[in-house]
Structure 1
Amino acid sequence: MRPSELDFRHYESRVMLRVVIGSRAYGLDDEHSDTDKRGIYLPQAEQHWSLEGVPEQIENDATQEVYWEFEKFLKLALKSNPNILETLYSPLVEFASPFAKKLIAARAEFLSRAVYDTFQGYVESQFKRITTELRNLERIRWKQMMHLIRLQLTGITLLQTGELTLHVGEHLQLLRDIKSGKRTFDEVDALRRSLSHQFDLALATTSLPEHPNRELANDLLIEARTLALKASLP
């Protein structure tokens, strides 16, 4: 058994939030889609204070599950990590403890203009890798390209509306066409550049704050650590 699987079994009872993300949350799923689960776990205080410490994340490859330790989750949320924000905003919540529900109720406090640098920076870096693979290996990862376009569309809407919506809505057919290779590389690259411009415009006019609410995040962390003194999951 892998160390990560041992960690998962050891801390599984401390999972405070479990949601489904990925294609099923985006509305892009089909009969072949996996069910990707993400969430948060809160170790007991004694586990956290021990010499061994606790892992920043636990995972179960067999069931496509990944859970971040609460403090790690908060720090990533403050950096506008896409996976973390999608976990907070997934419409497919399988389990949420009372404290996790409190976190979800405050999720808008983690949204800020930082999503521009995080989302767009990831898109640009990954497109460079895809271009290099195309040049050197003559292959294109269409599914990856589709998700990069999806991330741009999500980020633009977030800056424009102040809301993070995972379902792709009216862009469903476009994204499916990209995934299936019905659009050429040049077409998708041109779309990426057009969306980058729209992203710039959205950043200039967004009502989102410059930074997320770090004070709230700190208060939540202190409260969680206090609650972790109890044996039961808060």
Structure 2
Amino acid sequence: MTGPPRSVPAPDPHTLVRAHTVYSCVMGSRAFGLDTAASDTDRRGVFVAPSELFWRFDKPPTHVDGPAEEQFSWELERFCTLGLRANPTVLECLHSPLVEYADGTGRELLGLRGAFLSRHAHRTFTGYVDGQHRKIEARVRRGAPPGKPAMHLLRLQLALLDLLRTGTLTLDVGEHRDELLAIRHDETSWAQVEKRLRTLRATSEAAAARTPLPAEPDVRRIEDFLVRVRRTSASGPAPDSAPDSGPDSGSGRRPDRS
């Protein structure tokens, strides 16, 4: 009599990232145009867990730290869910100017960048700014300089204003680089930073009233994409969906501010 089938162990999270990454990019100061000689290289990515792993009681991870230092990846469904909620980190990941790797699925995901954008970004970006503002205030009360957190706080407020005005999310800070680096190096007082934030907040509120962004993201397009990816995974890779090269090969644009 044949016993029950033996369960095959699921691959460890780092193996999932290594074998199933569809998109990876550089984020952080290098993507924002704020890097210096001492800047780290932060990498973010998206992997697609094989569909058969979802048939188990023990589901694949929604996100993975590593395997490299300063590397973080989301499973595709989690990434799309957060993007539809206008999560600032995920939206910025989709718009990084420093794409290191994208296979066919990754390129299609990038082609959907605009479908994730909506007026919800005003609420989520503002909520994140408010939360970070409170943390920095507590930091300043303890006698610590606001420094890098204050720089990124103002950077995000500037990015939101530009997004609301143009309907496009741009990461590079451009002409604001010197202003932001002065904040990072504590050459600008926290009182001055707060004054600048209040001005930008008021301007953003006005821009939100006439933004070209749609009221809602295009959920149907993104869900159709996710379902097709899951079906392809369940039936085996399609001939034209093979990756151009592995995520460690450095294909695509490389960071050039080091």
Query: Shorter-chain-normalised TM-score: which range?
Result: over 0.9
Match of 1:214 among 219, 235, 244: 219
**Quick one: which amino acid aligns to residue 142 of structure 1?**
G
Matches within 5 A, 1:167-186: 167-186=172-191
Structure 1 residues 203 and 47: alpha-carbon distance in aligned structure 2, compared to 1, 3 A threshold: same
Aligned equivalents of 1:79, 1:127: Cα separation in 2: 21
Q: After TM superposition, list the pairs within 5 Å mapping 1:53-64 onto structure 2.
A: 53-60=59-66, 62-64=68-70
Counterpart position of 2:148: 143
Q: Which residue of 1 aligns with 2:233?
A: 228
**Consecutive unaligned residues in structure 1, runs of 5 or more:** 1-5
1:163 aligns with 2:171: no
Provide the C-alpha distance between the structure 1 equivalents of 2:182 and 2:17, rounded to a whole number of angstroms. Answer: 41
Give, in angstroms, the shift of residue 77 of structure 1.
0.3
Residue deviations 1:7-26, cap 9 Å, x none? 11344210110111111111
Contact map agreement 2:50 2:233 (CA 8 A) in 1: yes
State percent identity of aligned pairs.
36
Kept in 2: contact 1:162–1:208 (CA 8 A) = yes
Query: Pairwise CA RMSD of aligned residues?
Result: 1.6
Distance 2:64 2:71 in 1: 8
From the superposition, tell whether residues 231 and 58 of structure 1 become closer, same or farther in structure 2 (CA, over 3 Å). Answer: farther
| Residue deviations 1:178-226 (CA, integer Å, cap 9, x gap) | 0000000100010111110011011011011111111111111111111
In 1, the alpha carbon distance for the partners of 2:140 and 2:16 equals: 43
Structure 2 unaligned spans of 5+: 1-11, 242-258
What is the aligned partner in structure 2 of residue 98 from structure 1?
104
- 2:20 pairs, out of 9, 14, 17, with 14
The match for 1:81 is: 87
Report if the CA contact (8 A) 2:146-2:190 is conserved.
Answer: no
8 Å contact from structure 1 (residues 43, 54) kept in 2: yes
C-alpha contact 1:44 1:231 (8 A) present in aligned 2: no
- Does residue 128 (structure 1) correspond to residue 128 (structure 2)? The answer is no
Paired position in structure 1 for 2:195: 190
Q: Which residue of 1 aligns with 2:209?
A: 204
Alpha carbons of structure 1 residues 51 and 92: separation in structure 2 relative to 1, 3 Å: same
Over 3 Å counting, the alpha-carbon distance change for 1:87 and 1:230 in structure 2 is farther
Using a 3 Å threshold, how does the CA distance of structure 1 residues 61 and 127 change in structure 2: closer, same or farther?
farther
Decide which structure has greater helix share.
1
Instruction: Measure, in 2, the Cα distance between the counterparts of 1:99 and 1:61.
Output: 21
Aligned length: 229
TM value normalised by structure 2 = 0.85
User: Judging changes above 3 Å, is the alpha-carbon distance between structure 1 residues 144 and 61 closer, same or farther for their aligned structure 2 residues?
Assistant: farther
C-alpha change, 1:10 and 1:216, in structure 2 (3 Å) is: closer
Higher normalized contact order (CA 8 Å, seq sep 6+, divided by chain length): 2
Contact residue 17 and residue 73 of structure 2 kept, 8 A? no
| Alpha-carbon offset, residue 106 of structure 1 | 1.7
Matched, 1:48 2:54: yes
C-alpha contact 1:44 1:230 (8 A) present in aligned 2 = no
Q: CA deviation at 1:231?
A: 4.4
Tell me if the contact between 2:25 and 2:98 (Cα under 8 Å) persists in the aligned partners.
yes
Which residue of 1 is the match for residue 31 of structure 2? 25
2: CA distance between counterparts of 1:61 and 1:182?
37
Measured after TM superposition, the shift of residue 46 of structure 1 is 1.4
User: Greater Rg, structure 1 or structure 2?
Assistant: 2
Change (3 A) 1:118 1:159: same
